[in-house]
Amino acid sequence: MFNLILFGPPGSGKGTQSELIIEKYGLIHISTGVLLRNEIAEHTPLGLEAKKFMDKGQLVPDEVVIGMISSVLDAHPQAKGFIFDGFPRTSAQAEALDKLLALKKTAITLVLSLEVPEEELVRRLLERGQTSGRSDDANEAVIRARITEYHNKTAPVADHYARFGKFQQVKGDGNIEETFALLSKEITPFLK
């Protein structure tokens, strides 16, 4: 199996690039952001709980997110591999993911981290906020709070995977096609 984590701050293009990667390589896409927004749209108890955090630009509690991931992994026993988009976002989530994958006799193959300057992140998210209807893109204060959460809680996840030589930075401030070409260069050798 080939299991990829697409890593990077909010607005770095994880969701955008994941769509292109699944189309080219046939992996199963797991986006915790999409899963959480679906729960909110369906007014489930999990969605109502998640919304309280997401509207403020905060991370949703680990146990909520880890439970969701576990169900999705179980739903795809024949997958040739997964792309994790927006997960793990804390060290506790990374440790839980390692354990869940070990139970399935697999592991993370590679972590690709999209590097984009902060002002470009804010610009992209404000632009998306004009049309997305996403409450967490709605104003700059919430966007900055998400970036702060990233620095405080998510950035340390990089060390977790760098220790095993699986962490690779990729320039993410070019256009969508340029960034996809750089990611493909890293992925293709594993999936030839």
128 near ligand B4P, rule: CB under 6 A: yes
| Position among 124, 161, 167, 187 found at the interface with ligand B4P (CB under 6 A) | 124
Which one among 73, 179, 183, 187 touches ligand B4P, defined by CB under 6 A?
A: 179
Eight-class DSSP state of 190: G
> Which token pair is 161?
């995977």
Catalytic residue check, 163: no
Contact 100, 67 (CB under 8 A): no
Q: Considering only 20-28, 81-89, 99-107, 157-165, which stretch makes contact with ligand B4P by CB under 6 A?
A: 81-89
> Is 122 within 8 Å of 144 (Cβ atoms)?
yes
Q: What is the largest distance, in Å, between two alpha-carbon atoms of the chain?
A: 44
Using DSSP's 3-state secondary structure scheme, residue 109 falls into: coil
Site string for ligand B4P, 130-169 (x = CB under 6 A): ------x---------x-----------------------
Query: Please, are residues 85 and 8 in contact by the beta-carbon 8 Å criterion?
Result: no
Q: Is position 146 annotated as part of the catalytic site?
A: yes
The answer to whether the beta carbons of residues 138 and 82 sit under 8 Å apart is no
129 binds ligand B4P (CB under 6 A): no
Buried b (16+ CB within 10 A) or exposed e, 1-12: ebbbbbbbbbbb
| 134 among known catalytic residues | yes
Binding site members for AMP = 32, 37, 58-60, 86-89, 93, 134, 146
The residues that touch ligand B4P, with contacts defined as CB under 6 A, are: 8, 10-16, 32-33, 36, 53-54, 59-60, 65, 86-87, 89, 93, 124-125, 128, 136, 146, 175-176, 179
